[in-house]
Amino acid sequence: MSKLFQPSQSQIKSSNLSAYEKFLNQSYKKQFKNYSQLWNWSVKNPSDFWKSIADFYKVPLYAKKNTKLIQKNSQFWKTNFFFNYQTNYFYLLEKNKSNDLAIHFIGENKFEEKITYQELNQRVNALSSYYRSLKIKAGDVIVGYLPNIADTVIAFLAAAKIGAVWSSCSSDFGSKAVIDRFSQLKPKLMVVADHYFYNGKKYDYSQSLGQIQKSIGNPKILKTSYPCKKNNSELHKIYNNKKFQLSEMTEIVDFNHPLYVLFSSGTTGLPKCITHGHGGSLLQHLKELSLHTNVKPKDKMLFLTTCGWMMWNWTVSNLLLGSSITLYDGSPFYPNKDRVTQLTKKSKSNMLGAGAKIYEAIQNNHRSSKKNLLPDLKCFISTGSPLSKSTFQFINQTLNKKSFIHSISGGTDIVSCFMLGVPTLPVYAGEIQGPGLGMNIDVFNEKGKPTTQTGELVCKTPFPSKPIYFWNDKNFKKYQSAYFEKFNNIWSHGDFVKKTKNGGYIIYGRSDATLNPGGVRIGTGEIYSALQNFPWIDDSLATGYLMDNDEKVILFIKSVKNKVPSNYTDLIKKHLKSTLSPRHVPWKTLIVKDIPRTKSGKNSEILVKNIINNDKVQNLGALANPESIEEFRKIKIDE
Q: Residue 316's pLDDT band (boundaries 50, 70, 90)?
A: very high
28, containing H or E segment: helix 16-28
Report pLDDT for 208.
86
Question: Which of 397, 384, 396, 390 lies closest to 360 in space, CA to CA?
Answer: 390
Q: Provide, rounded to the nearest whole percent, the portion of the chain with pLDDT above 70.
A: 99
Q: Residue 94's pLDDT band (boundaries 50, 70, 90)?
A: very high
* Domain of residue 628, CATH code: 3.30.300.30
User: Residue 69 and residue 81: Cα distance in Å, rounded?
Assistant: 6
DSSP string, 301-340: EEE---TTSHHHHHHHGGGGGT-EEEEEES-TTSSSTTHH
- C-alpha of 394 from chain center: 23
Q: Tell whether 459 and 536 lie within a shared domain.
A: no
Query: pTM higher than 0.75, yes or no?
Result: yes
Q: Tell whether 340 and 459 lie within a shared domain.
A: yes
pLDDT over threshold 70, residue 51: yes
Q: Is 426 left (phi over 0), alpha (psi -120 to 50) or beta?
A: beta
Give Rg (Cα) of the chain: 24
Alpha carbons within 13 A on the beta-carbon side of 37: 7
User: Residue 555 and residue 261: Cα distance in Å, rounded?
Assistant: 35
Report pLDDT for 273.
97
Among 476, 499, 522, which residue terminates a domain? 499
Report pLDDT for 268.
60
Which residue blocks in 428-567 are alpha helix, DSSP H? 477-483, 524-531
pLDDT over threshold 90, residue 68: yes
pLDDT over threshold 80, residue 512: no
Q: How many structural domains does the chain have? A: 2
Residue 78 lies in a domain: no
Among 499, 527, 550, which residue terminates a domain? 499
User: Residue 510 and residue 226: Cα distance in Å, rounded?
Assistant: 37
What does the pLDDT average to over 339-345? 97
What does the pLDDT average to over 271-279? 96
Report pLDDT for 459.
98
| Tens of pLDDT, residues 183-206 | 999 999 999 999 999 999 999 998
> Exposed, middle or buried, 625 (CB in 10 Å: 0-12/13-18/19+)?
middle
Residue range of the domain that includes 612: 514-634
Q: Tell whether 115 and 153 lie within a shared domain.
A: yes
Q: How does DSSP classify residue 244?
A: G
Question: Which of 110, 467, 53 lies closest to 283 in space, CA to CA?
Answer: 53
Among 438, 465, 499, which residue terminates a domain? 499
pLDDT over threshold 80, residue 520: no
Q: Tell whether 205 and 294 lie within a shared domain.
A: yes
SS (H, E, C) 517-554: HHHCCECHHHHHHHHCCCCCEEEEEEEEEEECCEEEEE
Type of residue found at 444: F
Q: Tell whether 425 and 563 lie within a shared domain.
A: no
Residue 52 lies in a domain: no
pLDDT over threshold 90, residue 510: no
